[in-house]
Each structure stands twice: as C-alpha cells, then as structure tokens.
Structure 1
Amino acid sequence: MMKRLFALGSMTALLGACTPSTTLLSPDGRNSVAFDAATMTYAVLRDGDTLIRPSALGIAAQERDFSGFRFGVVHHTSGDREWSQPWGENKTHRDRYNEMTVELHNSDDRTELCLRFRAYDDGVAFRYELNAPDSLTVTDELTEFRFADEETAISWSIPGNFETYELQYREQPVAGVRDANTPFTFRSGKGAYGSVHEAALYDYPEMVLRRDAEGVLKADLAPLPNGVKAYIPGRFTTPWRTVQLGDKPVDLINSSLILNLNEPSKIADTSWIKPQKYVGVWWGMHLGTQVWTMGPRHGATTENALRHIDFAAANNIQGVLFEGWNQGWENWGGSQHFDYVEPYADFDLERIAAYAREKGVELWMHAETGGNIPEFEEQMERAFARYAELGVHTLKTGYAGGFKGGYLHHSQYGVQHYQRVVETAARYGIMLDVHEPIKETGIRRTWPNMMTREGARGMEWNAWSEGNSAEYLSTLPFVRLLAGPMDYTPGIFDIDYSTAKADKGRIEWNGPNAHCCIKTTLARQIANWVIIYSPLQMAADFIENYEGHPAFRFFRDFDADCDRSVALQGEIGDYIVLARRAGDRWFLGAGTNGEARTLAQPLSFLEDGVTYTATIYADAPDSARNPENYRIERRTVTSADTLEIAMAARGGQAVTFIPENE
C-alpha cells in the first residue's frame, strides 16, 4: 500500500482563509506561543525574545490521504483553579493558563485535527487531537524545536536512547546536540532557562530530540520492530509537547507545568496510597557481598528479613524491601524466567508477612522481569492478588535487559505495558516503584499509585563503575527530576568501602570492584534525602552502618510525606539548595559539586512567628579529605534569620527545623 503523508506543513495552500498569525499569551504576559497558519509553524517567546524559532508541526501516517484540509475555527479560553493530590512535592497546585485551539477539517468533513496550545506563567505546551473515521499507522512525528541562538544557547541532557536513561549528563551548546532524551534543559543566549519534555504519555512512544538531515532538532519517536512508530485509533490525543520556562534554574524545579497537563486522579479512594521511608536487602547485591539467588550469600533470608523489620520498627521507618526473595533468579542471563509468587525455601514469606504486620511495618515485594514482558503479564493478576492477600501495598518492579521480541523499552509497546501494570496494581491497592521505567510525564496525578521511578544513574553505579560525581548530583535536580520523583536510593554512610572495615563493625568488602567508592561526603548523602525527591525514600546502606550512628537521626526525623517544596537557589551542575515541609516541620538539603562553597540562605520560607530548633548536619573542616567526617550543630532560628551553608568539595548540608513547642 502506498504511504501517504499527513503533514501539517503541506496544507499551506489550503488555509488561505486563516488568520496568518495568532499569538497566545500566558496569564502574566511573559510567555507566548506564536502560531503561523501560512507556514503551519509555532514559535515560543519569553518577554518578547524568541527562544524557539518558527518550527514545523505535523504527524506522518499511512493508509489514508489527509489532503484537502481547510481552516475551521480558532477557540480561545482560559482556566484558573486549584487542585490537590494525595502526595507530591507539593500537595496543592494552581492550574492557571490561557488556551488556544485551532481546528482543521478535510474536504469531506470526516476528519478533524485540533492543535491545542496552552500558555502558563511557567511554560507553554501543545498537542495534536485527531478525530478520524479509521485507525492510523503513525510513521513519524514532524514536530521541530528550532532553538534560537543555537551557538550561544547551552544545554544539559543525556543522549537520545530508546532503551535506557542511565547515562551521563552533557553540558554543551545546543548547536552541538545530535540527539537527547527529555527533559532537555537549556539556557538561552539571553539568559532565560527552559526545559523541553512531554506530559501525559499514554499509548504512544516516547519522544527524543534528534537532529535531522537538515540540521534541525525534531521529535523522534521510539519505533516498533517493524519500524512503525505507533498504531492509533481514529480518535486520539497525543502527549503534550512541553517547554518549561523561568528566569533562574530553580524556577524550573518549582514549576507545576507537567502535572497541570495531566488529568485528575482516576482512583476514587486514595487513602491507601501513602508515602513512606524504607530500608531493605539491596546494596549488598551490588557490592557483591550478597546475591539474589539462594545459597551461602543469599540476602533475602528469613533471618535477614526479621532483622530488617525490627530495625525499621525501631527507627520510624515504614517499609522493608527484599530483592531476590522469589524463585527464578538462577535463570538470570538465560530464559529470564521468574516465579512472582513462590519464594525461595530460605525465605518464609508467610512468617515474614505476619511479623511485619505485627510490628506495624509494610512489607515490599520485588518483581524483576528481566525483559520477559509476556511472562510477567501472564502472571500479573495472580501475583498481585497474592501480594494483596499478604497485606502488601508496595511493589518494586524491574526491567533490566532487553525486551523479548525485539521491542524497545520506550516504544509504544513498552508504554502500553507500563500502563497496564499501573492500572492492574491500582485494582489491587498496590503502589509502584519502577526501575528501568518509561520516563515520568506526570501521570502520577492521574494514577497516584505510580509513586516513583528510577530512570537515571542511581546509587548502584557507585558500586561497580566510576560512579556518580558530585557534579552529576548537582545536575540531576535541573534535568531528570523536572520529570518527577526518582528512586535514587540515597544515604550510603560507609563512604569508602574499598577496604575491609571489620575493626569498625562494618561489612567487609573485598569484591572485584574494590576501587569503587561514594564520591561525596557523608553530609551530602544525608542532604540527598531532601534534594532527590521521592515519596518512597530509601536508606540504602547496610542497616549495620546506621545502628548507633548519630547522623542517622536525620532519617528517623525525616518525613517522606511532604506538603510543600521550594527550590531556593542553585546553578545547574554547581550547587542546589532545596527545602520541603511535612506538617509543621521543614527539612533542608544543600549540595555542591567538586568545588567547596559557602552560601547564605535566608530562612524566609519558615512560618512567621514560629521559633524552630535547627539541627544542622554539616561537613567537618576536613571532610574533603575524610568524607565520613561530619559535625552536628543545634541552634534556635526564626524566619528572620539567615543560615550560612558551608560545604566542602563534593559536600553538602542537611537541616531539620522543628518547632520548639512541638
């Protein structure tokens, strides 16, 4: 069958009756989208300065001839409402925007295309809404992103990849970017900050930016094995293409744009969806001191499980995770066959679940698929029913390795699978922590049991590679975390595990990667519990390294169920200061790159008229040389005070602010 192009750019001659140019302004008048019907392009401006030059719009499909479109109607509307969610960086958001829709019809009025634009004070967005009599085979998306001043505009991103997000960040001129995953963060030549991403990704492949043969960055969709990008019904809405905007880097972090572009929750009763802190059997497998399979070094044993549950109960920690509890890990690298219900013989699941209930601790299950999606989907109902029967409300899933059948993780096949898991889990009252995920696009508003994801280089990279630098950690909040929460698994206290430390009562480490270590100070590890947001937040080290440690008081006091968050100051790749409120307590986290620095931070975010006890977990004077050294200081403060944050190279600072009358 001949392929025919549905390309908005090919409709120019058919739209003579259309107003040549229409501009949509944000409520504050600073951001705008300029739509030109004569060329079928859009442009993005801030304060009158062009950030994205006129760029093409369009989708290519086969099976149907979409020529003969004519201009219909342009609608303008606006919205301004507040909404709340059961959890999140902020539980209350303001959704204020101006909207413009452009209708296009084909000659027989059987097909309609709507281009919907929105302008917010923190960015702009647009999407395609199709109403056709037949289903379509999408072969390409023609959306372009022609950045202004490409030679002087700077970007921060990871390479474009349809299989993984666990890649290093690159800081480079936009002109030097050949491909990039989103969020794609940039600073314009005139100093405005922005980030390109997408919102509400359903039933469609992910978008990366890729420079085409003409040298233009455009949308590239993850293909299916036959090269097709997506099969869609005649009535279909694409994800939003988004551009968050701000004057400062922290403005991007404080944006609600991605969440605002998603629909309200489809789960009527969300009372079972609760943020929590957790510990578990995990870090040892990456170090090599424990393994996932049954045997002498098996981590997920009954004895180990009961010990972790006791530790959690004694330390104000709500959950425990055990990787390697279920049968099938012996097939790793082969058939990738797992049984998602049957435990290993040395893991008494019934006893462990009962003990966790007795202690008031949540038991987490872990389901690694190894990319065997058909098998996981076949067992999913049975497994989730069993977890619910055991009183399990949290599941960590994994997708390490290639998908069977040649499917890409981030293709339409992958997106559909991840969504089936979210919806099935919701029916059984199960929250999700997804590793090797599809990227976050704000669907946690609609499906709030989608709690957190990996989707970047996490802590485990420090166990068997060159590790994650302090610069990487200072970039993460301004790129990956703009998409949503991340299960980074922070909080390693045994910073240098390259030599055995039996004399300190620590776990001995003599594995093949003995040169590896954590590349921050201990104070920065504490600060990461605040900086790297996740409603499911892990203390990832061996519990032996926390027992009796004075600095672990921070995690005991910390509350993962925050009400409000504010990024206070920072520069991409250099440093970050961020504060979160949970109830009447505030928690602050600050971190720097390889450069020592001292920052002055006004405490005006604290409630006026309240006196707080500030407990400060800071770098010691010699932390640059001895990263496990730290100091704890307590002082009385109010919102009128200014905190001096002194950080060693690769260091940080964490602070709890607790009202004195509490």
Structure 2
Amino acid sequence: MYSRTDMVTPYATPWKIILLAETAGELLENNDIVLNLNSSCEVADTNWIKPGKIMRSTVLGTQEAMECIDFCEQHNMQYILFDWKWYGPAFDYASDATKVIPEIDMRKVVAYGKSKNIGVWLYVNHHALEKQASELFPTLEEWGIAGVKFGFVQFKTHRWATWVHDLVKLAARYHLMVNIHDEFRPSGFSRTYPNLLTQEGICGNEEFPDATHNTILPFTRMINGAADYTICYYDKRLKTTHAHQLAASVIFYSPLMTLFWYDRPSFYSGEKEVEFFETLPTVFDDTKVISGEPGKSAIIARRSADEWFVGGITNNKGSDETVKLNFLEKGKEYLARIYTDGDVDIKSKTSVRCTYVRIDSSQTLHFKLKPSGGVAIHILPLLKSEWGKYTKYKGRTI
C-alpha cells in the first residue's frame, strides 16, 4: 500500500469508486455499489446470522445483565452487550479474554438470555484479538456467545486491513457475528462475509454530536454502508431532542442497531413513543430518500414488507419539512403513528407527542421541526373495518 508494487499479470487491484447523482439523496439510494464490488457470499449456511437490536449492560454484573435481558425481552430487542472490562483491563497484551471478571457469571447470563431468546455479545479489544483470536473464538462459541464487538482495531495499512478481514472469516467459522468499532472504514466486505453485521466508523452518540452534524452524515459517511451510531435516549448529555433520536434509528442504517447506549432499564418510565423502537426492524426491503441537504435536514423512508418507517432530522436551527406519501400504494388507507417533539403540555420526561392519523398516497405531511429536533413515523396498512378508529389527516402542520 505504501511502497512500489512488483507484480505479474493477471493481477487484481482494489476498486476505486466515484458516485455521481443529481441529488445528495440519490447517492445514498445507490450506495449498494459498494457492496456489489465485493465477492459474493462465502458463508455456506447463514441461518445463524440474525440482525437485531442490542442494548449495552452499562454495569458489569450478573444481576444487571439479567435486568437488561428482561428489558430487551419486554421491548422486542434481541441482544445485550458486555462492553470493555468484562475480562479486565483491555488495552494491554497481558489481558486474557478467556477469563471473565468475578462479578459476571457468564454461563448463567447466557443461559438466562437463551431462555428469553436474547443473545449475548462481547467486546474484545485489538490486543486480545491479535494475541489469542484462534483460541478465543472457539471458546466464545462454546460459551454460547452470539457475536463479538471488535474494539480499537488497526486497519489503515494493507497488513491490518487483511488482518481484520481474516478475523471476520475466523469469526464466521465459529458462528460469531461481528461489529467492528471505532475508526474502521467499511468497504462492503459484509457481502462476502455477512456475519459482519455493522461497524462504527462514525462520530455518533459516544461523542454526543449536535444535530447539524447528524444531517451531514447520511450524505457522507452512510454512503459507505451500515454504521453503528450507538443511539441514546435518556442521557442528559444529548445535544438533540428525543424525537431526533427516534428518527436516528431510521436515518442511520445498521443491521445490528444499538439502542439506549448510555441508558439503563430503570431509566424507562413507560414513555409511549418507545413503541417506535419496539416495532422497528433493522433490515429493510427498500429505501427512499424523501428529501435532504447536508447540514440542513434529512428525511428517509425504509420499507419492511408492507410497513414503512420514516425518520426525519433537522439541524440546530430547526426547519419546516414535508413528506410526500406517493411512495405508498395507491388506493390503500394507512395508519401513520407520528412521533414529534411536543411542548410543556406533554407530561413525560421526554416530551414526545404521539399522533395517530389515517393517510393515503395522495397526501403530504407537514412538519415544523424544532431546533435539533426530528420526527419518526411508522406507517402500516389499515383494513377498511379499522378506518373509523382514526381521524383522516387534513393537512395541518404537526
């Protein structure tokens, strides 16, 4: 990579990609080229690879992990994560990721998770991966671990890029899904090894960016592929509204979707809008960028079967936005569950307003998004017998 190349033909070099489009949104809608320039899937049986939503156990202990498992079961999430320090200090070659700290009974947690259909992921730092991956991965498979979150891996040279890809291959051999964290750049390798569900490589909620930053990401970083933005919800350090965070779960595509990153199960107080996270899938059949401009706003709609999930975010100043519903099937009536930032009249600690209206493909929804705000919408078909339960949307600004 950094020296002259001496080769004998035939010889293949990496692809370099330039994407051109009339709009910023069309760049994102056509980013599958990054995946498709990779080789086809080399994992013979992919039935064990299951996308889903994951919550970190922010306290490293058996009881706390079991409480997270209960929370995930109640809110249609599929995994919990033990982050760094579950095997002690991680940033040292003396660390041993086959040894669990005494505060965690790993086998008990994994067994409890399986009884609730909740899998367990583990963070493993570069040092342990480099030192003992060939020993560690079969051990994790024997423990019943669902996936590994690689931490602070080197990747910038050909040597380390090859090493990371070989780790993903090794993980597949032992039925371990992978999430590569920190500065890793995605290159579409998930097509060849789909156990690589996602990667970070994004300035997400670990750093608490502002809303304007978030409106730039869909048209820059997200062109390269899935990103684990680590969505928070209750943390007071957030620089955006709660509706913005709901919408972010649609904006930032990730087959492994981290929710409630800095939160704990006890932070939840029955907020109605959390139902949006509960119903949200993490993989989709279609994506449409409704509108957007880097630094101003982004509105993206994603379809799963006959349901649509729409996320809209604005910048630090706020904006007036519209959502044309012409992507819906003509002649059908739909229910739109709309989540926006409310005012003091909303008596919850998140102040999210939940609005349910009947809509069809001929209409356009109108929103006045608050500074650093957003809107999340779940659209699902209505039977004719259900029409009378909901008021028809009349064009008012929400």
Q: Which residue of 2 aligns with 1:584?
A: 306
The answer to whether the 8 A contact 2:178-2:197 is kept is: yes
Give runs of aligned pairs for residues 9-24 of structure 1, distance below 5 A. none
Instruction: Give how far 1:376 is off.
Output: 2.1
Give runs of aligned pairs for residues 426-437 of structure 1, distance below 5 A. 426-437=172-183
Q: Which residue of 2 aligns with 1:421?
A: 167
* Amino acid of the structure 2 residue aligned with 1:559: P
The answer to whether the 8 A contact 1:325-1:347 is kept is: no
The TM-score, its normalising length taken from structure 2, stands at 0.89
Deviations 1:291-338 (A, max 9, x none): xxxxxxxx2100111111111111111111111353231x64xx3432
Instruction: Give how far 1:234 is off.
Output: 6.1
Q: Does 1:477 align with 2:226?
A: no
Q: 1:324 to 1:257 in 2, by over 3 A?
A: closer
Q: Which residue of 2 aligns with 1:606?
A: 328
The answer to whether the 8 A contact 2:68-2:264 is kept is: no
In the alignment, structure 1 segments of 5+ residues that lack a partner are 1-204, 206-222, 283-298, 404-408, 463-467, 497-516
Q: Does 1:546 align with 2:303?
A: no
Q: 1:313 to 1:366 in 2, by over 3 A?
A: same
Q: What is the rounded CA distance, in whole Å, between the counterparts of 1:379 and 1:431 in structure 2?
A: 18
Q: What is the rounded CA distance, in whole Å, between the counterparts of 2:293 and 2:227 in structure 1?
A: 20
Q: 1:604 to 1:300 in 2, by over 3 A?
A: same
* Amino acid of the structure 1 residue aligned with 2:368: A
The answer to whether the 8 A contact 2:88-2:100 is kept is: no
Q: What is the rounded CA distance, in whole Å, between the counterparts of 1:551 and 1:399 in structure 2?
A: 34
In the alignment, structure 2 segments of 5+ residues that lack a partner are 387-398
Q: Does 1:453 align with 2:210?
A: no
Deviations 1:41-63 (A, max 9, x none): xxxxxxxxxxxxxxxxxxxxxxx
Relative to its length, the structure with more strand (as a share) is 1
Q: What is the rounded CA distance, in whole Å, between the counterparts of 2:331 and 2:45 in structure 1?
A: 37
Match of residue 288, structure 2, among 537, 557, 566:
566
Q: Which residue of 2 aligns with 1:327?
A: 87
Q: What is the rounded CA distance, in whole Å, between the counterparts of 1:426 and 1:456 in structure 2?
A: 24
Q: Does 1:307 align with 2:67?
A: yes
Q: What is the rounded CA distance, in whole Å, between the counterparts of 1:523 and 1:452 in structure 2?
A: 24
Deviations 1:59-100 (A, max 9, x none): xxxxxxxxxxxxxxxxxxxxxxxxxxxxxxxxxxxxxxxxxx
The TM-score, its normalising length taken from structure 1, stands at 0.55
SS of alignment partner, residue 243 of structure 1: coil
Match of residue 274, structure 1, among 44, 50, 64:
50
Relative to its length, the structure with more helix (as a share) is 2
Deviations 1:439-479 (A, max 9, x none): 111121111111111112121112xxxxx111110000111
* Amino acid of the structure 2 residue aligned with 1:580: R
Q: What is the rounded CA distance, in whole Å, between the counterparts of 1:368 and 1:592 in structure 2?
A: 35
Match of residue 240, structure 2, among 511, 520, 527:
520
Q: How many corresponding residue pairs? A: 379
Q: What is the rounded CA distance, in whole Å, between the counterparts of 2:93 and 2:88 in structure 1?
A: 8
* Amino acid of the structure 2 residue aligned with 1:238: T
Q: Which residue of 1 aligns with 2:148?
A: 395
Match of residue 620, structure 1, among 326, 331, 342:
342
| Higher RCO (CA < 8 A, seq sep 6+) | 2
Q: What is the rounded CA distance, in whole Å, between the counterparts of 1:533 and 1:230 in structure 2?
A: 37
Q: Which residue of 2 aligns with 1:360?
A: 117
The answer to whether the 8 A contact 1:546-1:552 is kept is: no
Q: 1:263 to 1:338 in 2, by over 3 A?
A: same
Instruction: Give how far 1:627 is off.
Output: 9.7
SS of alignment partner, residue 364 of structure 1: strand
Deviations 1:614-660 (A, max 9, x none): 1111022579xx99422110001122221112210111000111222
The answer to whether the 8 A contact 1:470-1:593 is kept is: yes
Alpha-carbon RMSD: 2.2
Q: What is the rounded CA distance, in whole Å, between the counterparts of 1:619 and 1:568 in structure 2?
A: 20
Q: What is the rounded CA distance, in whole Å, between the counterparts of 1:317 and 1:248 in structure 2?
A: 35
Q: What is the rounded CA distance, in whole Å, between the counterparts of 2:49 and 2:328 in structure 1?
A: 28
The answer to whether the 8 A contact 1:442-1:484 is kept is: yes
Q: Which residue of 1 aligns with 2:21?
A: 246
Give runs of aligned pairs for residues 32-71 of structure 1, distance below 5 A. none
Deviations 1:109-149 (A, max 9, x none): xxxxxxxxxxxxxxxxxxxxxxxxxxxxxxxxxxxxxxxxx
Q: 1:230 to 1:385 in 2, by over 3 A?
A: farther
Q: Which residue of 2 aligns with 1:214?
A: none
Q: Does 1:381 align with 2:137?
A: no
SS of alignment partner, residue 20 of structure 2: strand
Q: Does 1:351 align with 2:108?
A: yes
Q: Does 1:487 align with 2:224?
A: no
Q: 1:382 to 1:600 in 2, by over 3 A?
A: same
Instruction: Give how far 1:547 is off.
Output: 4.1
* Amino acid of the structure 2 residue aligned with 1:245: L
Q: What is the rounded CA distance, in whole Å, between the counterparts of 2:371 and 2:8 in structure 1?
A: 54
Q: Which residue of 2 aligns with 1:94?
A: none
Percentage identity across paired residues of the two chains: 31
The answer to whether the 8 A contact 2:184-2:200 is kept is: no
Q: 1:380 to 1:632 in 2, by over 3 A?
A: same
Q: Which residue of 2 aligns with 1:629?
A: 351
SS of alignment partner, residue 244 of structure 1: coil
Q: Which moved more, 1:439-448 or 1:385-394?
A: 385-394
The answer to whether the 8 A contact 1:470-1:650 is kept is: yes
Q: What is the rounded CA distance, in whole Å, between the counterparts of 1:482 and 1:616 in structure 2?
A: 27
Q: What is the rounded CA distance, in whole Å, between the counterparts of 2:6 and 2:343 in structure 1?
A: 60
Q: 1:570 to 1:366 in 2, by over 3 A?
A: same
